[in-house]
Amino acid sequence: MAEEVITGMDYKLMIAGAYSELLLSYEEINKIAQTKEGGTQVLRTVASAIIPLATAKDTSIGGLSRRASTAARLGARGNSGVVVSELLRGISKGLQGKYDATSSEFGKAFQYGILHAQRVIKDGYEAPIITVAKAVAKGAYQLVRKRRPISEILTAAIAAGQTANDNLPSRDSGALLMVIFLKGCLKGLDGNFVSPYSSLTLPMTNGDSVPHPNEDLVRPYCVRFRARNQKITVEEMERELKDFGTNAIVERRENGIFAHIHTEHPGNLLEWAVGLGPLREIHITNMSEPHALGVNNPIMPVALIAAPRDGTEEVLQEAGATIIVKSRKNRLPSVEDLVLAAHSDFADSYVLLSSRKEDVMVFRQAKYLLEDRVELVLADTTEKAKIAAKVFNTEKSAKENAANMLAAIS
């Protein structure tokens, strides 16, 4: 019997279904989560993953899964959001280079995603979301080996995850999120979910708890190039670039003009740029991968980046924070927020300072992506972050500062 084939459209529907199921359940998750925002943060993480799928011209399952994971990794908010983004990351690695996938290939990719998600838990304890994730992988294992249809594999995974959930000593928002995500994938595959799936139009959301999904659009690609063009002014170039992305830096260099911009569609940008004249020094960096960028004329050698809770920005700024990443109405910052702050040419290097245990993994993820350009100081309260910020010294290196700040709060 021929094995079932999973297409790129099937993958789109699964992610759309997961988003829709989270849309129905995020308020329940918020009531369980200690932060009262856990469901909202994962909803926003998955929203960032689904947005690029709606306009993608690539129809391969490998290409679409990579687009989703790239956006989710930067759009991840909160600890559970980072775990879900790494689940998608592992799935995309398992599907890399495939146009379509058999049910067993997709099942194996999903199990690889579970293993990938486990690796972001670094505190030496078995988080409930990982306990359930392991049960999910184990529950689906035999059906994957038997090459059963993906709907059967997902059904078995959901049942195993639900049983593991029921056996936990108390209800846990992260563990419940894993089951909800899988249920949404199954509903999406069956076409049985609330979002209009023909065009993957995202549902409008009202009220303060959930912003419109378009607010979670990420721009994962850092594009730099020099165009041999003496006529266009810096101001004109900056105006033109507004249509392609954010964080644009434009300056005159040699006999041309240099641009640095973050965009979701590097191809569209370069297609426009060829009209400027011969292009040189073209660099495209996927910011969801570990990367290091050169710094152009920094104002200071080292700076302190903090992302405090609403109402505490002034406290940390007075204590010594150089750059404040503001979160919208008490929502946790995304990985992209931190990456963009460090991508500025404000300083040669940075120290990232957290002030909440709820976004520890977001800071770790940003450090992982930015490599040696940043150092990390994980404070789990505003008071500890304030103590650490007061130790910060612009005359010391980022590494020296991080060591002194950690010692102050240890």
Do 221-286 and 300-409 share a fold?
no
For the chain, the structural domain boundaries read 5-194, 221-286, 300-409
Whether the predicted model's global pTM rises above the 0.85 cut: yes
Pull the structure tokens for residue 43: 């909803």
Is residue 198's pLDDT more than 70? no
Q: How confident is the model at residue 193 (pLDDT cuts 50, 70, 90)?
A: low
Query: 11-25, 68-82, 209-223, 356-370: which has the minimum mean pLDDT?
Result: 209-223
Report the C-alpha gap between 337 and 358 in whole angstroms. Answer: 16
Residues 6+ apart with CB under 8 A from 373: 292, 293, 342, 349, 350
Cβ–Cβ < 8 Å for 227, 259: yes
- The mean pLDDT value for 278-282 works out to 93
For 221-286, CATH number out of 2.60.40, 3.40.50, 3.30.420, 3.30.70 equals: 3.30.70
- Residue 235 has what pLDDT? 94
Is residue 263's pLDDT more than 90? yes
Max CA separation in the chain (angstroms): 70
Q: How confident is the model at residue 327 (pLDDT cuts 50, 70, 90)?
A: low
pLDDT in tens, 70-84: 999 999 998 889 989
- The mean pLDDT value for 271-288 works out to 94
- Residue 72 has what pLDDT? 96
Does 198 or 94 have the greater pLDDT score? Answer: 94
- Residue 171 has what pLDDT? 84
- Residue 206 has what pLDDT? 45
Is residue 158's pLDDT more than 70? yes
Which CATH superfamily hosts domain 300-409?
Phosphotransferase system, mannose-type IIA component (3.40.50.510)
Q: Residue 250: which H helix or E strand, with range?
A: strand 246-253
State the fold for domain 5-194.
1.25.40
Is residue 216's pLDDT more than 70? yes
- The mean pLDDT value for 28-57 works out to 85
- The mean pLDDT value for 232-256 works out to 91
Quick one: what percent of the chain has pLDDT higher than 70? 91
- Residue 207 has what pLDDT? 45
Q: What is the mean pLDDT of the chain?
A: 86
- Residue 410 has what pLDDT? 85
Q: How confident is the model at residue 377 (pLDDT cuts 50, 70, 90)?
A: very high
- Residue 57 has what pLDDT? 86
Residues 6+ apart with CB under 8 A from 278: 227, 228
Q: DSSP for 112-141? A: HHHHHHHTT--SSS--HHHHHHHHHHHHHH
Q: What angle do CA 363, 218, 113 make, to 5 degrees?
A: 65
Report the C-alpha gap between 295 and 221 in whole angstroms. Answer: 17
Is residue 44's pLDDT more than 80? yes
Residues 6+ apart with CB under 8 A from 58: 8, 64, 67
- Residue 384 has what pLDDT? 94
- Residue 175 has what pLDDT? 84
Does 384 or 30 have the greater pLDDT score? Answer: 384
pLDDT in tens, 124-152: 555 788 788 888 888 888 888 888 888 89
Is residue 297's pLDDT more than 80? no
